[in-house]
Structure 1
Amino acid sequence: MTLHWVPATDRGDLLADPVALAVPGIEGAEVTEIDPDLADTAAFCERYGVRLDESANCVVVAARRGGETRYAACMVLATMRVDVNGVVRKHLDARKASFAPMADAVELTGMEYGGITPIGLPGDWPILVDAHVAGHPRVVIGSGLRRSKLAVPGATLAGLKGAEVLSLTT
């Protein structure tokens, strides 16, 4: 099946509300409609012919220290795994770090699970972008909804407010 990419600002109906508010400031963002049952990365890539190393996942991490929980987003290529308990935990100066529970991630972001993206996240969240993502000419990411995907240059993600480029994998 062929993907039909259009400027993201032309199809706000394919974006979660916080993403639609943020996307006008995102240079080169394009959006495409997909089957929501194929939103998970492996199924999406297989069905639409997108390579896993062209797709980036947004992982929401809950970092805890002294009874306080802070959230962060981590962007890694679909071929890699985030080192949550090592690199991310240490970078966030947390005693414990783990994947945020699905209900918390959905409520706090205003996005659908399986479509969470760093574009439009709460402004006080750190966005940790793996160096492989930052250096990629164009990555496919979530749109905030399961029924569409965004494509943006990796450098655009690295330039988001609160973004830091790191090596997030082991």
Structure 2
Amino acid sequence: MKQGCRYGTHRVIEPVGTLPQPALKLDNSMEIYDNEILIDVITLNIDSASYTQIKNACGADPEKMKSMISSIVRERGKMQNPVTGSGGMLIGKVVEIGTGFPDKKLKPGDKIATLVSLSLTPLNLKRIIHLDPESDQVDVEAQAILFESGIFSVLPDDIPEKLALAVLDVAGAPAQV
């Protein structure tokens, strides 16, 4: 396994030398580095400002919104709206954990919510399964990478996933839940 930078700078394609969040494009190949985890994404919770901008630009047409979101991810390797600069967060299942990832309690199959922005998260979007213009939660078939420095929360079993995601997002993405 290749060794990666704790902050994910090894994933930056353009401009080289920046951190992932301000970068224009990230490497969204899903072969993990030693300090990353691979996630099968279930739902993207797109930031409200970003989702509203996309919705307005597309006239609330679900197919146009799907196309715009797919285009953003294809061009940038992440979900970062180029107009608002914002991203959101995700929920998914852990698929693979790099040997150098610091959290040794995490295991494949755990459902997690990432508590870092999608604007710095490498994302490979295969397809959008469901999108409702009235909800900023988008069900997808996708994979994402979480860096060693990225914080996350294992989802509790006693709260529905989408409710947990909304609560974690509204709570300002606290480090511990």
TM-score (norm 2): 0.32
- The structure that is helix-richer by fraction is 1
TM-score (norm 1): 0.33
